[in-house]
A and B are shown apart, each in its own frame.
Chain A
């Protein structure tokens, strides 16, 4: 029983990490209807820059965290300006944006290798105090709780922001129909840039938390989470913030439960992706996806 409880906690935790990564991802996806495949690179760079600030600039993590998050947000603005704005009005913008963001991701990753080296690095042990609790044989760390809390707060806050606030509605309006939004007085280009900023800042923050928790940062760390992040936002329903978190947790749980139930992890990813596959067949627009509106 303890074992099972521990696995559930593991699943919720790793799922929240996926979700954190996916929130920013899905935000841009929802607005522009294009995938920003440089998101994983921002995730990586956010973590690496925070590490650099802590290690080389000898800052406290509490200073480095917001600075690196800000830096990631600015990367988002750069991605938008370089990889998306020039393509905005091309007929193939969907695919070309996909590719240009990959191209930029390659440039970012090579820059990361060039600047930080290819090896895995970690935050100094003293960066953040971690408490470990053993409750009834179940291990929980303070960092885990913090990460799950942050994910939950972000989900609630962002959802509310999108539903209620003026800018949130403007973001959704741009997502629905850019031309209409423009005619209604929405500063579309500004809203898009703003969305990229928020999205990338979130991506960078996720990278920092990831690095803090797992104690491992490397220039290619975005790669392994990229695919899962993609799976998660589709599972949750594109553009849906609760979907991203809940999809993340669902994905995390399916991974962990495979291990718990089968006792071996050989098929962990296979099961996770099969579940994704099955859910898509049952609910073609994901768990929380927008319902198909009439076409005729």
Chain B
């Protein structure tokens, strides 16, 4: 009797919140993709565009060429990664906000191309993309990248990223090939973003150019900062909270529209002001 009820409650819950959970997964992946570059001290606002590139690549492959989904996913990650690598060498000479703007400019150019190209379906977007993404795929990918990031920290790559983040000049003097490691971070980030974009396209039936503009790029940064950038699960926490927040507010009866938007902003502000290291500080006892 009771197990059946639980089962019922669970299916019920999943029916209502299933897609929310999937979005949390996808957004977490996107957040981690930025986390990789941030961990090497580089602020890239191009990751939303890399997600778009991945989404279009995979969508075109499955829609027009009937490529198996798993192959399309790999292709998406590789495509985003390859473009990131080509882009990375010139762009990563830039520092701080200049890098951010250059990557943003790249994102805008990608967005405008997607609007103007035939194969991407123009402004209406690419649709209908077959519905192939399942929750387990998203969360397997998330678990693997999370694990990878956790382990990476203590590897040669991880230490190099950290050194570059702290002081690039000193890092060079210690023998770290900063150009290479920065490009690596940028590329890994882009691959994860591309994968997430591909999964998202095959979850939503559609991908449109509007999905990866400026605000999407900034959203990824928000996930990271709200969650906390000191540990790999910070961005996941941030993505989870902020993705679920509108639903949570709905649950509390905050009416749709400007009020909910305002409350959303207010909560974001409170988290930033009162949790100096992001949500992770609620979970770790590592104080400063």
Contacts and interface: CB of A to CB of B under 8 A. Distances in A.
A156 to B, nearest CB: 26
B8 interface: no
Interface string B72-115: 00000000000000000011011101100110111011001100
A100 B116 CA distance: 35
Interface string A261-296: 000001101100110110011001110000000011
B268 A269 contact: no
Given A99-B222, A227-B214, A274 B109 contact: yes
A238 B101 CA distance: 12
B175 interface: no
B97 A110 contact: no
B281 to A, nearest CB: 12
A82 B269 contact: yes
A230 B262 contact: no
Contacts, number: 125
A231 B101 contact: yes
Task: Provide the main secondary structure of the chain B interface.
Answer: helix
Interface stretch (A5-13, A67-75, A86-94, A138-146): A86-94
A113 interface: yes
Given A113-B261, A234-B98, A95 B90 contact: no
A83 interface: yes
B48 interface: no
A103 interface: yes
Given A95-B221, A96-B272, A107 B101 contact: no
B221 A227 contact: no
B93 A284 contact: yes
A98 B91 contact: no
Contacts of A114: 258-259, 262
A286 B98 contact: yes
Nearest to A284: B94
A267 B112 contact: yes
Contacts of A102: 218, 222, 268
B51 interface: no
Contacts of B98: 234, 280, 284-286
A277 B102 contact: yes
A67 B169 CA distance: 49
A35 B229 CA distance: 19
A176 to B, nearest CB: 16
B97 A276 contact: no
A142 to B, nearest CB: 34
Contact of B101 (A223, A269, A270, A280): A280
B253 interface: no
Contact of B261 (A110, A281, A286): A110
Contact of A103 (B108, B109, B215, B268): B268
Interface string B225-246: 1100100000000000000000
Contacts of A269: 108, 112
Contacts of B19: none
A106 B268 contact: yes
Nearest to A226: B214
Given A98-B221, A110-B264, A266-B116, 20 more contacts: A92-B225, A95-B225, A95-B229, A96-B276, A99-B221, A99-B222, A103-B268, A103-B272, A104-B269, A106-B264, A106-B265, A107-B265, A234-B101, A269-B112, A270-B112, A273-B105, A281-B93, A281-B94, A281-B102, A284-B98
13 contacts: A83-B269, A86-B273, A87-B273, A99-B268, A107-B266, A114-B258, A226-B214, A227-B214, A234-B97, A270-B113, A270-B116, A280-B101, A281-B90
Interface of B: 43, 90-91, 93-95, 97-98, 101-102, 104-106, 108-109, 112-113, 116, 169, 214-215, 218, 221-222, 224-226, 229, 257-259, 261-262, 264-266, 268-269, 272-273, 276-277
